[in-house]
Amino acid sequence: MSNNVESTLKPLFEEINNLKPQFIERLTKAVAIPSVSGDESLRPKVVEMAHFLKQELTNLGAQDIQLKPLGKQPPPVSTEGLELPPIVLARFGSDPAKKTVLVYGHYDVQPALLEDGWHSDPFTLVEKDSKLFGRGSTDDKGPVMGWLNSIHAHNKLGLELPVNLVCCFEGMEESGSLGLDELIAREANAYFKGVDTVCISDNYWLGTKKPVLTYGLRGCNYYQIIVNGPGADLHSGIFGGVIHEPMTDLIKVMGQLVDVDGTINIPGVNEMVAPLTEEESKLYDPIEFDVDELNLASGSKTAIYQDKKDILMHRWRYPSLSLHGIEGAFSAGGAKTVIPAKVSGKFSIRTVPDMDSDKLTQYVIDFVNKRFAELKSPNTLKCELIHDGNYWKSDPFNESFTAAAKATKLVWNIDPDFTREGGSIPITITFEEQLKTNVLLLPMGKGDDGAHSINEKLDVANYIEGVKTLSAYLHYYANA
Ligand SMILES: NCC(=O)N[C@@H](Cc1c[nH]cn1)C(=O)O
Ligand SMILES: [Zn+2]
Ligand SMILES: [Zn+2]
């Protein structure tokens, strides 16, 4: 059977090589649309990206393309009546004799500004040193285009897809996947009926040399602490030392959430973490990774841990708390002497088995309120959850992972490592539970791609070989 698959894949891989310029062109067009879900003023661009996908899917011959509306964005939201971007659904084939694979990806991206330190405009895809630089190149427009490219290559060759393919692309992944849980529940026995497995390409190799297949993710609970004080921003020469400043209160409280060595100081949080078993402890030993890979990916020597196992465990199986920013604070160049009247501090906690999101939020709010009360400040403080998304951990011993391992070996000539990841894809567990299928994470990019960071990139080789890997996975899975 395998030999059959490989003889089908040979001309397909050649076609993929031939189509490289068109594939780069497709990604160039996608990156040019600044579909930043976290910036409410750019919401029309996120919607434009949904329409771009609709057009591409139409050109590729998709059936039953639907842009599913999700209604208004729930609070907290600054723009009243802001519509959520639609979910893009499409299918290729509905042959009852074939297996059905649902592929999920997201068409929204993280914010990016040239002045953050990008070498070139983040929304213009630039090819340099065999790398494709641009926001969304690796997270997640490259992989989403990867699925479209695979269909394109099949079409060009006149080769039937080996499975029925259902596409589900969302535009709010970077902002909590709002509305998608409900849509999946609604469509489980409708649009998604008959789905045998789900494949997500929205994460990265652990390092830069060895491909991986991923069977676990951390969750993410995102919070804000809003401190309100004077009626307007004030002159620090006139009011400094005379009034209670919101920013001072906020920094006092935020500064106590986490220690510099990453220890989370909120009582109850660490106690929820599942204990490390001997069996799990052994899983880290064969994984290829060292502190140099971490230094390379972070562009620094700032690691808290020097030992592989410590690094992997703190990325995969322990929670972390990160401070992200302060809305309303002075942040430009120069030296403005302002006292901000209202500031909102943003932080998130990456969650792991067996943390409970509601309990966590209660612990966070209690801690923040207690620390603020100690300040005896007349300002007001409100701590709230902006969004949460669950962690996910599965058993990688199934047909889908086996097919992906074969595909990876064929394309990269090496057996993949089986890894978990510190990032989050909130919808993974929802697919598993609602569709009652397993989910596979099959990453395209490398660990040094700089997702969410400046100068995000995807190596040309990962893009093109990634299309081959996704394609080979479909063929091996069809024949499993
Ligand atoms: N490639 C996956 C990814 O980047 N996921 C985001 C999801 C998220 C969660 N809360 C806000 N965004 C991540 O930050 O892990
Ligand atoms: Zn992503
Ligand atoms: Zn992301």
Top mutation candidate among 141, 169, 174 for ligand 1, by most atoms within 8 Å of CB: 174
* Chain centroid to CA 451: 9
Which amino acid belongs to residue 88? V
Which pLDDT does position 267 carry in this prediction?
98
For strands 320-327 and 342-351, give the pairing: antiparallel
Residue 66 contacts by C-beta under 8 Å, 6 or more apart in sequence?
88, 89, 90, 191
354 is catalytic: no
**CB neighbour list of residue 158: distance below 8 Å, 6 or more residues apart:** none
Check residue 109 and give left, alpha or beta (phi > 0: left; psi -120 to 50: alpha).
beta
For residue 241, give the 3-state DSSP assignment.
coil
389 lines ligand 1 (CB under 6 A): yes
Q: Which helix (H) or strand (E) holds 87?
A: strand 87-92
| CA 361 to ligand 3 centroid distance, Å | 23
Residue-level pLDDT at 26: 98
Q: Show Cβ contacts of residue 28 under 8 Å, excluding neighbours closer than 6 positions.
A: 125, 134
What are the residues whose beta carbons fall under 8 Å from the beta carbon of 260, sequence distance 6 or more?
none
The pair of structure tokens assigned to 157 is: 């060759």
Q: Is residue 379 predicted with pLDDT exceeding 90?
A: yes
Tell me the C-alpha to C-alpha distance, in Å, between residue 114 and each of 242, 314, 457. 39, 32, 15
End-to-end, the C-alpha distance of the chain in Å comes to 9
**Ligand 1 touching residue 172 (CB < 6 A):** no
| pLDDT, tens only, 442-461 | 999 999 999 999 999 999 99
CATH topology of domain 2-217+391-478: Aminopeptidase (3.40.630)
Tens-place pLDDT, residues 121-135: 999 999 999 999 999
pTM of the model: 0.93
Looking at ligand 1, which atom is closest to the CA of residue 140?
A: 1
pLDDT higher than 90, residue 1 = no
The best mutation among 109, 140, 173, 322 to test binding of ligand 1, ranked by most ligand atoms within 8 Å of the C-beta, falls on 173
In whole numbers, what is the pLDDT of the chain averaged over residues?
Answer: 97
- 168-199 residue pLDDT tens: 999 999 999 999 999 999 999 999 999 999 99
Is residue 424 within 6 Å of ligand 1 at its C-beta?
yes
Domain-wise residue ranges, the chain: 2-217+391-478, 219-274+317-389
CB-based contact 210:416 (threshold 8 Å): yes
pLDDT at 76 over 90: no
**108 counts as catalytic:** yes
Percent of the chain with pLDDT over 90: 97
Least confident of 95-99, 242-246, 293-297, 407-411: 293-297
- Averaged over 275-299, what is the pLDDT? 93
Buried b (16+ CB within 10 A) or exposed e, 254-277: beebbeeeeebebeebeebbeeee
Q: Which CATH number fits domain 219-274+317-389: 3.40.50.2000, 3.90.1200.10, 3.30.70.360, 1.10.1040.10?
A: 3.30.70.360
- pLDDT for residue 426: 87
Q: How confident is the model at residue 3 (pLDDT cuts 50, 70, 90)?
A: confident
154 is in an annotated binding site: no
Q: Of residues 56, 140, 173, 465, which has the active-site annotation? A: 173
Residue 2 binned pLDDT confidence (cut-offs 50, 70, 90): low
Ligand 3 centre and the CA of 444: distance in Å? 14
Residue 199, pLDDT score: 98
- What ipTM is given for this predicted complex? 0.96
Express each pLDDT in 85-108 by its tens digit: 999 999 999 999 999 999 999 999
Helix or strand run (H / E) with residue 385: strand 380-389
- Residue 179's CB is within 10 A of a number of other CB atoms, namely 22
The whole-number average pLDDT for the span 137-157 is: 98
